[in-house]
Chains A and B, each alone.
Chain A
Amino acid sequence: MNWYVLVAALLASSVEFVEALTIVLAVGTVEGYRPALRGTLLAVLALAVLTAILGVGVLHYVPINVLRGIIGVLLLLFGVKWLRKAILRFSGKKALHDEAQAFDKEVGRLRQNQGNTFAAQATAFNGVFLEGLEVVVIVLTMGSAAQAYPSAILGSAIGLVLVLAAGLILRAPLSRVPENVMKFVVGIMLTSFGSFWAGESLGVVWPYQDASILLLIAGYLAASWLIVSSIKRRDVNRHEVA
């Protein structure tokens, strides 16, 4: 079992599942659960077909070193995107993501089109497909680069079960999930994995082999903390001058 991959896949997938659940709940609230579940099911089927095609293609036809290089680059891009957003949120330059607010916004938008079950189904499909696509990218990239598919799939499956269980019990958007902190952690993990695998495929020799991932995680965490505090300090100084 590769614990790094399991934890990263679990956290990243949970965040995406929470966002998808919010959209499905909004559709269910406005148009009923039939179109919401139909859209969800179609999106899951589409994602399963896509994963099977990509997964088989990737595993059978691309050499592992080339694969790690491509995946490392994609993970690095994916990771810095998440990390940048998280830094902006924690430094107060971007509003923190709030599932309750996202739910209200989606419900308001759906109410304008109320009675159109096709549009409701399409909304559920789009939400689940797009959020699910990020889960597919995470599971496929981390699973294949670390040759740890079972860990990536298990992590993601645990995330799905946890989010589904919480959603079924609460029947409300999961606004108490510390989504912003989770996104910060995932951004750091994905950036670290991306740096490690992309570097390895380009000829970098990492000291202490896989343990370097922990050093990278610590390094990016420290750097992010420094950036957040420097932005906060700068904004305080600007307010004082004004």
Chain B
Amino acid sequence: MKWLREVYDLFVDDPKLAVLSLVALAIAFLIAKAGAKSAAGLAIFLVVAGSLWYSTRHD
């Protein structure tokens, strides 16, 4: 299972930040489904930037 850990470490440093990035995509998906397809892109940017802010200030 060591290789699995290596693959995980390749993509994830701060698990909270990784989860928040996935949440950003989930929110964008819901917004796009609701019809606001252009606003969904802005949601990704805002949530990812906000997550970076949260993750780095609480390190």
State the A residues within 8 Å of B (CB).
Answer: 73-74, 76-78, 80-81, 83-85, 87-88, 91, 93, 130, 133-134, 137, 191, 195, 198-199, 202-207, 212, 216, 219-220, 223-224, 226-227, 230-231, 234
Contact = CB atoms under 8 A, between A and B. Distances in A.
A185 to B, nearest CB: 15
Nearest to A91: B56
Q: Is the interface of B mostly helix, strand, loop or mixed?
A: helix
Interface of B: 6, 10-14, 17-18, 21-22, 25, 28-29, 32-33, 37-38, 40-41, 44-45, 48-49, 51-53, 55-57, 59
20 contacts: A73-B25, A80-B17, A80-B52, A81-B11, A84-B55, A84-B56, A134-B10, A191-B48, A195-B44, A198-B44, A203-B33, A204-B32, A204-B38, A204-B41, A205-B41, A216-B45, A220-B49, A224-B52, A227-B56, A230-B53
A204 B57 contact: no
A204 to B, nearest CB: 4
Q: Top 6 nearest A-B pairs by Cβ distance?
A: A203-B32, A223-B49, A205-B37, A77-B11, A202-B29, A81-B13
Q: Is the interface of A mostly helix, strand, loop or mixed?
A: helix
A203 B37 contact: yes
A87 B56 contact: yes
A84 B41 contact: no
Given A84-B17, A231-B56, A195 B22 contact: no
